Amino acid sequence: MVRLISVLSIIFLFSCSPDNEEYVKVDKPLNFQIPANFPATVYDLEANPPTEIGFELGKKLFYDGKLSSNGVISCGFCHEQKTAFTHHGHQFSHGIEGREGTRNTPSIQNAAFMKAFTWDGATNHLDLFPIIPITNEVEMGETMTNVLEKIKEDKEYQQLFTSAFEDGEVNFENFFKALSQFMVMMVSSNSKYDKYVRNEINGEFSEEEKQGLLVFQEKCASCHSTDLFTDDSFRNNGLPPNLKLDDFGRALVTGAESDKYKFKVPSLRNVALTEPYMHDGRFGSLEAVLDFYSDGISDLPTLDKELKKENSLGLALSTTDKNVLIAFLNTLTDEEYINDERFSEY
């Protein structure tokens, strides 16, 4: 018995000590730059500064099916780069065994600048976010402990953790930090619109696009504000509640009646690529979204004031307004971002 224990403890010691001690730390910091037209970051970059290997590790995790119970559903399965990291063609997310969720997959971009995550702001820290999809039974359906066990067994992961972090440990903290490093670097800031506001080449707007920007500033920018195109608040934009889903939005987090049917104001960056729209993916086109804002607003107690001014419901939008708005929204597509190989699946 004594012998058995000592053998076991040797195996234990052996498997715990980084058997790649000769592996030299060659990691280098990555240069995170705030685009000139962006506000300050929310994410604490000093607490978790992105590095070359930390980023590579985060990327490997993002595209690894091991994070799910069936070994197939990675983060990238639902967040596809070519559609700004949304799940193309799916109204609702579907993960493990084709089980369907109840919300539309939002894009991942500019996460370092965001105060809250998911449609109802279930968490406000990017590092804690991955617990949600990993443990969600309709998304990745796995336990965090199992995920870490699988990662620990993998030689390549062991080396990456050793190189990326001071303590070299394969633990939850470093797992989350690596995923955040990858997502923090995912900055979309080179659309035609960005080049226009920064006076860069290829940033000329047509008359129609300029008109669209003006209409946007007048009618939409109170909520879709700053160059992130969101004020990070939760609002009821007048969608008639989907009675089948009965999704109360922000009220699910705060429990407050006054938050019923409020959802996070989404960024509109790359919006031309991310249909279907809204938290439940109910609209298949931008035209349908604009028709809703002009004629489809539902007057519930929590409806946002911006959408009921002088007692008239919705936003007055002429056919011309709608056409120029769509031309403008198309300028928010960032081809560099959706083709950037740093973020691509291998």
Provide, rounded to whole angstroms, the least separation between the CB of residue 67 and ligand HEC.
6
Q: Of the two residues 23 and 326, which places its CB atom closer to ligand HEC in the complex?
A: 326
With H, G, I as helix, E, B as strand and everything else as coil, classify residue 298: coil
Q: Work out how close the CB of 285 gets to ligand HEC at its nearest, in angstroms, rounded to a whole number.
A: 10
Which CB, 190 or 219, lies closer to ligand HEC?
Answer: 219
- Judged by beta carbon, residue 130 or residue 168, the one nearer ligand HEC is 130
Q: Smallest distance, Å, CB 130 to ligand HEC?
A: 4
Question: Looking up tokens 């990070």, which residue turns up?
Answer: 232
**Residue 7 CB, nearest distance to ligand HEC (Å)?**
37
Q: How far is the CB of 51 from ligand HEC (least distance, A)?
A: 18
Pick from 109, 128, 129: which is nearest to 187 by CA? Answer: 109
CA-CA distance, 2 to 8, in Å (whole number)?
10
Nearer to ligand HEC, 177 or 224 (CB): 224
29 vs 240 by CB, closer to ligand HEC: 240
Residues in the chain: 346
Return residues touching ligand HEC (CB under 6 A): 62, 67, 73, 75, 77-79, 93, 95, 101, 103, 105-106, 108, 111, 117-119, 129-130, 133-134, 139-140, 179, 183, 219-220, 222-224, 235, 237, 239, 263, 265-266, 268, 271, 274, 277-279, 286, 289, 293, 304, 306-307, 315, 325
Tokens of 269: 């960056």
Pairwise CA distance, residues 171 & 133, whole Å: 18
- C-beta pairs of 175-178 under 8 Å, 24+ apart in sequence: 175/61, 175/130, 175/147, 175/148, 175/151, 176/127, 176/128, 176/130, 177/48, 177/54, 177/127, 178/54, 178/55, 178/57, 178/58, 178/61
Instruction: Give the nearer residue to ligand HEC in terms of CB position, either 73 or 327.
Output: 73
* Contact residues for 346 (Cβ-Cβ < 8 A; gap 6+): 63
Q: How far is the CB of 142 from ligand HEC (least distance, A)?
A: 10
Nearer to ligand HEC, 20 or 306 (CB): 306
Alpha helices, DSSP H only, in the chain?
Answer: 2-16, 52-62, 75-78, 131-135, 144-152, 155-164, 172-184, 192-197, 207-219, 251-254, 286-295, 319-330, 335-338
Closest approach, Cβ 257 to ligand HEC, in A, equals 17
Is residue 198 a contact partner of residue 313, using CB atoms and an 8 Å limit? no
